[in-house]
Amino acid sequence: MGAMLRRESRVRLGRRAAGWLSAVALGASCSSPAPPMSAEEVALREQRERMVEEQIEARGINDARVLSALRKVPRHAFVPEAQRTRAYEDRPLPIGHGQTISQPFIVAAMSQLAQIGPAARVLEVGTGSGYQAAVLGELAAEVYTIEIVAPLAERARGTLAELGYANVHVRHGDGHAGWPEHAPFDAILVTAAPARVPPALHAQLAVGGRLVVPVGVWEQELQVHTRREQGIEVEEVFPVRFVPMTGGETPED
């Protein structure tokens, strides 16, 4: 539910971009003009644009749909009021209960690595603030997200509903079990680090689907697990540091 990138020299994400571009027909609107934005809203929008340009695009994220989602989702809405002025900094921020909202670059990198198409069904393990889920909600048809900390799940559910993400479904529970009722998933993102990938997540991944997950206890590596007809193909991407995944089995030292 939160991560800080430790080293960036090995990042090579551009070659992994899916490049899905969805064509959206825009008709003339008969509704009343939107009310003018406040000075604070204008400043936050400008900060969000700088975040995308300087922290995301400049560092190799080139999937047009991911960049568009990051420009649209208001990260400041997912952090506590005391952290709002820091919402668009390139760092994780505390959200309570020992958890954090992930560094924006990590959210972008995981979203790009997942290669999510507009018709995809996606599972997220570790809702946290709900920010990654909102980004996924911009990319996929349906998003199912699980959070083990009940107050965080409730808060994220409220924030996502307030922002209009009707395609994002929040459940309080243990992510080790996944969400079998809605499997198989075209992509699965895990935002906390297990010592080993829970078998249920592999089982719920569609053939051709991609599981993006940080794996490890003290030393962690962001990995992409792709389900093939003959089994699971694993690619290591770069070192990361996430909060540990809780619930399920106790990890080995």
Active site members? 102
Side-chain-facing half-sphere of 39: CA atoms under 13 Å: 0
57 Cβ contact partners less than 8 Å away, ≥ 6 residues apart? 67
Would you mind telling me the total number of residues written for the chain in this entry? 253
Radius of gyration (C-alpha) of the chain in whole angstroms: 17
DSSP strands (E only) in 46-184:
93-96, 99-101, 121-125, 142-147, 168-172
Give the whole-angstrom CA distance, residue 150 versus residue 173: 8
In 150-252, alpha helices (H): 150-162, 199-203
Give the whole-angstrom CA distance, residue 236 versus residue 217: 15
Number of Cβ within 10 Å of residue 221's Cβ equals 15
Q: What sign does the CA torsion over 173, 176, 181, 182 have?
A: positive
Percentage helix, strand, coil for the chain under 3-state DSSP, each rounded to 5: 35, 25, 40
